[in-house]
Structure 1
């Protein structure tokens, strides 16, 4: 079975934290992070043959999960394995893992060079000085919000496109 299309399923960060995180991502992660809203990835991968089958699976899983709290903690890094500075989930990671596992199978596959690890990326693939600055500046970070929706993206046409926002527990 050949997987032909790419999709993403993410938890969006609500206001007011979205703009704060967007500013940090632009400062430390560069201009490439600008068009990408802050989020926690649940699945980044592919689907086989039918977009509607994949989207239906995402909707079905979302309906079974109640909203939950997320607390982002002080900046950490994946270095030396990967040049990334991120905010870890101090609460909400177990729920993200459960969502990740529930989304996989049938029509969806998670494809990454790294094992799934719920987090919010601040900077990646930038010079070490920027990674160091991000980690130092955000070493005391604590942000909390309620995850009450997920978003579905596709790469039809070669770019990430927002497709749908799905409330949790509906």
Structure 2
């Protein structure tokens, strides 16, 4: 379950991931994960879709602001752009998804972010981190996307297929069913440590 990032930020962040020589750059578009890959019992996808539709009807569009660059090191070799404003709304939405009619236990605490690299060349990663230190963007969030895969949730190379786009109240329809095969819609001098996360930025 994700929030997709629209252009021009989508293209910019995807280019940054390519510049890191991350092999997943062209397979995974920039997004904010609301629900990490999880197994849903067979035949229960419709129940989850109904829950998401209900959430969409009672949710309003909101904004998130992205700024700087950060890392989950040493727990995980993931570099990302953090959400510095609007994170509480993302957290509330993620919690409502997890605690619906099909409770889902996640491996890690929810932390809103946009992944830039997971399997990256160290030298390229350093250059990209420096180029994104001053990155900032404010994005309107008015929908969420449900994708499914026949691969195991733990498979990092899993292929995902979008099956439902849920528009928040005030937009055309609360749910758009997708047909099979359809594409998804459209280090600085200052460093601060937050628990295991290391963040770079001048703000």
Q: TM-score range with shorter-chain normalisation?
A: 0.7 to 0.9
CA contact (8 A) 1:47 1:108 kept: no
Task: Determine which structure has more spread, i.e. the larger CA radius of gyration.
Answer: 2
User: Runs ≥4 in structure 1, deviation > 6 angstroms?
Assistant: none
- Which residue in the other structure is 1:135 paired with? 129
Task: Answer yes or no: is 1:69 the counterpart of 2:63.
Answer: yes
SS of the equivalent of 2:51 reads: helix
Residues 16-165 of structure 1: pairs in structure 2 closer than 5 A:
16-44=8-36, 45-49=38-42, 50-105=44-99, 106-112=101-107, 114-156=108-150, 159-165=159-165
* Aligned CA distance change for structure 1 residues 12 and 29 (closer, same or farther; 3 Å): farther
Between Structure 1 and Structure 2, the one with more helix by share is: 1
Partner in structure 2 of residue 5 of structure 1: none
Q: Distance in 2 between matches of 1:20 and 1:109?
A: 32
The Cα of 1:29 is off from its aligned counterpart by: 4.9
Number of corresponding residues: 161
Distance 1:75 1:123 in 2: 11
Q: Post-superposition shift, 1:88? A: 0.5
* Richer in strand (by share): 1
Match of 2:179 in 1: none
Q: CA RMSD in A?
A: 1.7
Match status 1:12 vs 2:4:
yes
Structure showing greater relative contact order (alpha-carbon pairs closer than 8 Å, 6 or more residues apart)? 1
Name the residue aligned to 2:166.
Answer: 166
Q: What TM-score, normalized to structure 1? A: 0.87
* TM superposition score normalised by structure 2: 0.73
Relative to structure 1, the CA distance from residue 80 to residue 16 in structure 2 (aligned partners, 3 Å threshold; closer, same or farther) is: same
The answer (yes or no) to whether the contact 2:21–2:121 under 8 Å persists in 1 is: no
